[in-house]
Structure 1
Amino acid sequence: MKKLLILSAFILLMGSNSFGQGGVDFSNGTWSELLARAEKESKLIFMDAYTEWCGPCKMMTRDVFSQKEAGDFFNANFINVKMDMEKGEGTGLREKYKVMAYPTLLFIDKTGEVVHQAVGYHSTDLFLELGETALDPEQNFGGIKARYNSGDRSPELLYKYALAKYGAMDSSYTGQAEEYLATQEDWSAEKNMEFIFRLTEDPHSKMFDYFFQNRPAFEAQFGEQSVAGKIDQIVQSQLNSISTDEDLKKIDLLYKKVYPGEAAEMSARLRMGIFAQKEDWKNFAPAAAAYHEKFPSKNWEELNEIAWVFNEMVDGKKNTKLAINWAKKSIGLDDNYFNNDTLASLYFKLGKKKKALKAAKKAISLAQQSGEDYSSTEALIEKINNK
């Protein structure tokens, strides 16, 4: 009898929710079977679109889906499913629903249409709020979109539609955001300031122009650090999307607008960095030479680094002599093993064996004093002596 009781308890445990103590119960089955269930039970499907490598996805599984209050609400109102977007049916669903970030939280009706969605980690409270919104046709993405498509252009609808698109990572949200703002006489109202601060991401938009032109007002409301961080984030997003010369020209204009005192130096450094990233050393060399001529560095590490890159990647006597000058300037700022080793390598590359040997011996002497590993310099000396 005791064995039977233990076995029964074990079976009950194995059959319970895999997320424990009343968490969200995720269903199995094919996508067509889940859609059939949605029609039969008159429920929406909640899909956690995830990947195995996604950190926030794992956090939601551990900290949110496991919560009893999340389970009570979602199990009662939705058919819940987890879909790995890189395996099985998930790959096709990723294409169908244009999933580009993880986790993407989708609410889908019986016909397979998305009625609401959001992207990113949500705390339990935000997750419950998301579910409640998905159930409300006046508030969910599908309902708002239908009203917009039928001609509703009320400020309330435009406000909600822009926020819904933004939350779904739909890049076209700027259109509705500026439609909403066009209905507002006072963009400086607290609600509108919050709206602009949250949704401004395109540096070529009217929202950004207003945000930047009224920077002191935004700093007063959100803090100088937050505003500076927002601007840096917008600029960085543009840097990440550079692919053409036209993109570079746009960045030049953006630098002039946002960082007027540093724009020229930032543009020059950007070009140097892009050529290095592409391993386009032919164009990197003149870009680096122009940058360091116009904006000479007083940092020994920066000078040593560019000299070493020229040693390793850039050919031509003229370029090697330029790199030697940088290495010497680096030594003048801080005489150490690293820049003397660089100088030795450059002299050897130029065919100046005596000078290379002298710099290498000095580098080893400095390394012995500072405790640095100088085995690579010993190997260089061997090459010099054997050539």
Structure 2
Amino acid sequence: MRIPLFFLLLVNLSFSQKVNFETTVDDAFRKAKKENKLVFIEYYNEECTICKSIEPLFSNKEMADFYNKNFVSYKINTKGGLQGKDSLFMAETKIKFQGVPYFMFFDQNKNFIHYSGAKSDLDYLLNIGKTALNPEQRTGSLQAKYDAGDRTIKTLYAYTDVAQLYQDDELSNTISNQLFEVYPKQNLGTRQSYLILKNSVFSIDNGFFIYWYQNRSNLKDFEKGSKSGEEIKVLERIVLESIQKQKSNWDLIQIEKVKEYTIGLGLSKSGNDFLWEEEAQLLLKNNQHSEAILLMQSLLEESQNNLFSTLYITEIFLNFTLDKVTLQTILSELEKLTKQEMDVEQKADMYYQQLLCLKKLKEDKKLDELKKVATKFYSDHTLDITNLNKI
């Protein structure tokens, strides 16, 4: 039976009305090699609102004709986490997106060449594809430009985005510092400077952060709509990220500077909320025992109504000191707790810390007396006395 020509044309037309997606990532790259095309991958989540709004555009004729002509397409759905070969593929790329949706492009050998965030706008999505086809404009050209010495604002700004994509903090900070070096200082108070701060700065040591912190009263009117008035949160984010990633490398001078930032930005009233453990260890390590005691007393004053916090604070100082005065101060603070109501675990912790203090102070008689009391308490409440016996 012969199929009418008009029917074949109708079928072909119906298929051309949508972007054709391969069923597996391996199929996509096999077909790309066969047809000598790039691979386009939509990285999305089927429950994402923006992703849902983009989906109908894949059935737009202009979109379908352009993407089917120039790319072999595939989708990676992140719902429920990456699975199987999709997970392995993303691990191989070393790309780590923080959200969805993104459009990614690869050559036939799985080399990453371009990416962009996506939105429900036909021209925008077409331009993403056109940029991916242009070797001079696509993301993959940025490293070559940078390595060749290109230090223009445009290249550096775009390249920080790529460094973030690979979560390369060292490279991100290096590029953002270079960006500040070449940026016209007379333009530091502009919206462009704010956008660089927002999108390309991740360290409190960067010049854009320092400028905007010092001029934070002017950090306003750059955001619109639902984000209006939230400019200060960019500085807060940079401080908190710096604490998370860099605190282990900081000395006491740097810690004091960061405490000033947390107070100035309203993240902390006293400055003791984020770095007190690191500060305590450094003070004790440097034999600055008087300063350590003052810090501990300040912390205990702030947490006087929180027994859990109090015991945690004394434990940290106890673990890092052999100084007699500091130990006596800790013992005195623990003694105050005996007058408070506490649960079994808290009282057991208090006994343990008291015993450890007495051991470090070499007060053997008091140690033996208290150990008998503590051992009975542990036994009465069927608690593990292994650590107690080590004292």
TM-score, structure 1 as length reference: 0.59
Q: Is the 8 A contact 1:215 1:227 kept in 2?
A: no
Q: Which amino acid aligns with 2:333?
A: W
Query: Retained in 2: the 8 A contact 1:24–1:71?
Result: no
Cα distance in 1 for partners of 2:145, 2:323 equals: 69
User: 1:309-348 alignment to 2 at 5 Å?
Assistant: 323-330=330-337, 335-337=341-343, 340=347, 342-343=349-350
Cα distance between partner residues in 1 of 2:141 and 2:311: 60
The answer to whether the 8 Å contact 1:238/1:251 transfers is no
5+ unaligned residues in a row in structure 2: which ranges?
1-13, 166-171, 357-366
Who is 2:215 aligned against? Answer: 214
Q: Does 1:108 align with 2:101?
A: no
Structure 1 residue 292: Cα displacement: 1.1
- Quick one: which of 299, 304, 307 aligns to 2:311? 304
- How far is the alpha carbon of 1:48 from its aligned partner? 4.9
Q: CA deviation at 1:126?
A: 7.2
1:233 counterpart residue number: 237
Per the alignment, do residues 67 and 377 of structure 1 end up closer, same or farther by CA in structure 2, a change over 3 Å counting? Answer: farther
Q: 1:70 to 1:218 in 2, by over 3 A?
A: farther
Q: How many residues align?
A: 325
State the SS of the aligned residue for 1:125.
Answer: coil
1:155-200 residue CA offsets vs partner (Å, 9 max, x unmatched): xxx4543443344326254266436623x74332334433434333
The letter for the 2-side match of 1:36 is K
> Contact 1:44–1:110 at 8 Å: present in 2 too?
yes
Identity of aligned residues (%): 15
Q: Which residue of structure 1 aligns with residue 73 of structure 2?
A: 80
Deviates more, 1:56-65 or 1:193-202: 56-65
- CA 1:62–1:264 in structure 2 vs 1: closer, same or farther (change >3 Å)? closer
**SS of residue matched to 1:47:** strand
How do residues 216-295 of structure 1 correspond to structure 2 at under 5 angstroms? 216-219=217-220, 221-222=222-223, 226-242=230-246, 245=249, 247-248=250-251, 251-252=254-255, 254-255=257-258, 258-259=261-262, 265=272, 269-271=276-278, 291-293=295-297, 295=299
Contact 1:38 1:45 in 2 (8 A): no
Whether the 8 Å CA contact 2:281–2:320 is kept in 1: the answer is: no
Aligned pairs for 1:1-387 within 5 A: 25-28=21-24, 29=26, 33-37=30-34, 39=36, 43-48=37-42, 57=45, 59=47, 63-64=51-52, 67-70=55-58, 72=60, 73=63, 76=68, 78-82=71-75, 91=88, 94-95=91-92, 97-101=93-97, 105-110=103-108, 112-118=110-116, 124-125=119-120, 129=124, 132-136=127-131, 137=134, 140-142=138-140, 158-168=152-162, 169=164, 171=172, 173-174=175-176, 177-178=179-180, 181-182=183-184, 185-219=186-220, 221-222=222-223, 226-242=230-246, 245=249, 247-248=250-251, 251-252=254-255, 254-255=257-258, 258-259=261-262, 265=272, 269-271=276-278, 291-293=295-297, 295-297=299-301, 298-301=304-307, 302-307=309-314, 323-330=330-337, 335-337=341-343, 340=347, 342-343=349-350, 350-353=367-370, 356=373, 378-379=381-382
Q: Is contact 2:145–2:155 with CA below 8 Å preserved after alignment?
A: no
**Per-residue deviation, 1:307:** 4.8
Q: CA deviation at 1:150?
A: 7.7
State the TM-score, normalizing by the size of structure 2: 0.58
After superposition, the Cα gap between the structure-2 partners of 1:38 and 1:244, relative to the gap in structure 1 and judged at 3 Å, is farther
Distance 1:24 1:162 in 2: 35
